[in-house]
Copies of this chain bind each other. A is one copy, B any other.
Amino acid sequence: MDWGSDLWDQHDVIERHTQSGLDLLERYVKFVKERAEIEQNYAKQLRNLCKKYSRRGVKEDQDTKMTNQQAFQDVLNQLNDSAAQREHLSESMTLNICVELSRNLLELRQERKNHLCDVKKAQQNLESSFKQLETSKKRFEKEWREAEKANQQTERVQQDANATKADVDKAKQHAHIRVHLADECKNDYASQLQKHNKEQNNFYHSEIPSVYKKLQEMEERRIRLLADGYVHFSETEKNVLPNINKCLDAISSTGRNINEKQDTMALVEQYKSGAVPPAEVEFEDYSVGSITCKQKTVSKYHSFLHIRNKYIIPFRKYNLHLNFAMKTYLTVIYMSMTGRTYLMVYALNNGP
């Protein structure tokens, strides 16, 4: 059972069906192309998102030592990698399905066209052979009537009392020629008929079945290509999923590795001044005449303020770490200048 032997009389069906099959293949290629575009667009949006939220510039660098801050960047990096996988998916779909099937589609379209052209040519040959047969048959019919007429004329001349022997001979000769001519036409008709039947037999039992069988094989190849296209469509995505899964695993690990205690301790390590809270305020007993002592303290505080304004504040603007070092250094200087640390601490925390 095949198209050649069972659909020999279903030319339109085969023509329409193979066309619709190729249209489906083309439709599928377009579908995959659009899917690849969606994937590309999705990847682009993910990349833009990562770019938007990535840390840039020096300003924000101060806190990057914290695991939870760094982790966000890691999440973004992994998402960016996952977007790259999506781009790869899009490119693979375009290359392995769209480009490949488009090429096959072109070849199949040409192949179908050639097969249908062969059918048309064979049909035209058969039609022209049939026309020749009809012409030959008509000529035989016409010639035979002429021959019959000539025979009847001969009979009439033979029965005519007034007819001469020459008339009879002439009629007989004419009839003989016509019968001979009719016989020749009959032979020609018989030969044309034989030729036509041979061609008709060839057409229905060889040419048509052969072409339709080729179209069936072509259709099977087309179906196989399409079926493989469906498999590639899913396998391409299945191939990138483990990589995306790896990115997701990395994000999970990043989240799980964040140590909140370590992060708050990092702040201590970064900013601990080492200073101790101010000592108790001392009693200034004016009743034993300590006025000069107080004036000395105040003037020491003023000279500390001078150092602080000159060195600490510009440094604070420049670099917090250096500032910290300088602050510690100046704290020591000042602590050596006066035992009273309260004013210093107050000034450091509430400075201009």
Task: List residues of A whose CB falls within 8 A of some B CB.
Answer: 1-3, 6-14, 17, 20-21, 24, 27-28, 31, 34-35, 38, 41-42, 45-46, 49, 52-53, 63, 67-69, 71-72, 75, 78-79, 130, 133, 137, 140-141, 144-145, 182, 186, 189-190, 193, 196-197, 200-201, 204-205, 216, 219-221, 223-224, 226-231, 233-235, 237-238, 241, 244-245, 247-249, 251-252, 254-256, 258, 260-261, 263-265, 267-268, 271-273, 275, 277-278, 280-281, 283-287, 291, 342, 345, 348-349
Q: How many protomers of this protein does the assembly include?
A: 2
Task: Choose one: B197, B252, B345; the contact of A281 (CB below 8 Å).
Answer: B197
Partner of A49, one of B34, B45, B71, B281: B34
Residue of B nearest to A190 (CB): B283
Interface contact A200-B42, CB-CB below 8 Å: no
Which of B254, B277, B348 touches A205 (beta carbons < 8 Å)? B277
B200 and A281 contact, CB distance less than 8 A:
yes
A28 CA / B28 CA spacing, docked (Å): 40
Inter-chain contact A258/B227, CB cutoff 8 Å: yes
B283 contacts A230, CB within 8 Å?
no
A283 to B220, CA, bound (A): 42
Given contacts A12-B349, A68-B227, A227-B255, 17 further A-B contacts (CB under 8 A): A1-B265, A3-B268, A24-B68, A27-B53, A28-B72, A42-B45, A182-B287, A186-B287, A190-B283, A205-B277, A219-B263, A221-B260, A233-B255, A234-B248, A238-B248, A238-B252, A241-B245
CB-based contact A260/B224 at 8 Å: yes
Chain A contact residues: over half helix, strand or loop, or mixed?
Answer: helix
